[in-house]
Amino acid sequence: MREIVFDTETTGLDFDADRVIEIGGIELWNHIPTGREYHCFIRPAGRRVDPGAFDIHGISDDFLKDKPLFQDIVEDFLDFFGGATLIAHNGSFDIRFLNAELRRVGRPELPGHLLIDTLPMARRKFPMAPATLDALCSRFQIDTSRRNKHGALVDSELLAQVYIELIGGKQAALVLDPQDRGGGEGAADQEIAAARPRPQPLAPRLCPEEASRHAQFVASLGEGALWNRYLGAQAETASAEQA
């Protein structure tokens, strides 16, 4: 399953008048990052960056003056985002802005059913706890040292890690060996990972008659049958236990 974890930055909060000025996205395949990413800045035609928005993301009008318009990047954007499940934090905000941009250039909107919003996911998983991206990164001990201000690409990278934790943590990233997790696991994890013999073998589930019929069947297969190897090993184990 292909997923895109994404974020946007905008000139302000007005869905009808404000514009998208930055888009970032990280590709996951079966919840595992592929290394593919999308990032662009966009010049907001006819709209200036609101001072309140600038305080959040630090993207200025002067910085954006030589950047492409949305109509210039829409094909690359749709090539990367099209057909994938979309993951965003407070995603209704981002997708409303993106769909407004798509309508302005006469392109089909992104389907709402493809959106997974991690904000309600986090609120269900941790009721009454803060559910901002910063709070979730702190909860999951995700490094945010690169994040001085909000930025679409860095926030997408952080959200991808948060999303993986929300849906099952390290298991989703195929980290199966506790030694590969970078530490932090307790003794219980080590015990679970280690193979431990049962203190007492389970009682046999076959009655003597069934065991006899099975032995007759194995004998009919000939000496080269794989069952003979298993039965031989079983007999050696039983002999060793009796000794």
Residue 36 belongs to a domain with what CATH number?
A: 3.30.420.10
DSSP string, 199-224: SSPPPP-S-HHHHHHHHHHHHHT-TT
Are 130 and 215 contained in the same domain? no
Q: How many whole angstroms separate alpha carbon 137 and alpha carbon 89? A: 12
Residues facing 8 on adjacent strands: 23
The torsion region of residue 231 among left (phi > 0), alpha (psi -120 to 50) and beta comes to alpha
At 193 the pLDDT is: 45
52 within domain boundaries: yes
**If the chain, 243 residues long, is cut into consecutive pieces of 10 residues, what is the mean pLDDT of each piece?**
96 94 96 95 95 93 96 97 95 96 96 95 95 94 83 93 88 46 45 54 72 79 70 57 53
Query: Which one from 31, 39, 89, 150 is the annotated catalytic residue?
Result: 150
- Whether residues 50 and 148 fall in one domain: yes
Containing 102, the helix (H) or strand (E) segment is helix 91-104
Determine, yes or no, domain membership for 202: no
Q: Are residues 115 and 170 in the same domain?
A: yes
The pLDDT score that the predictor gives to residue 178 is 43
Clarify whether residues 114 and 214 are in a common domain: no
> What pLDDT is recorded for position 13?
93
Q: Check if 150 is active-site.
A: yes
User: Do 130 and 228 lie in a common domain?
Assistant: no
Residue 191 inside a domain? The answer is no
Domain count, the chain: 2
Extract the annotated binding site for a divalent metal cation.
7, 9, 155
In the listed set 180, 199, 219, which residue is the last one of a domain according to the structure? 180
Do 111 and 160 fall into the same domain? yes
DSSP-derived 3-state class of residue 31 = coil
Check residue 219 and give its pLDDT: 79
pLDDT score for 135: 94
Domain extent at residue 224: 208-242
- 147 and 65, same structural domain? yes
Instruction: Look at residue 186 in the predicted model and tell me its pLDDT.
Output: 45
| Whether residue 60 is found in the same domain as residue 18 | yes
H or E element, residue 73: helix 70-81
Please check whether residues 49 and 133 belong to one and the same domain: yes
239: burial class by Cβ within 10 Å (0-12, 13-18, 19+)?
Answer: exposed
The whole-angstrom separation of Cα 213 and Cα 159 is 59
Same domain, 214 and 168: no
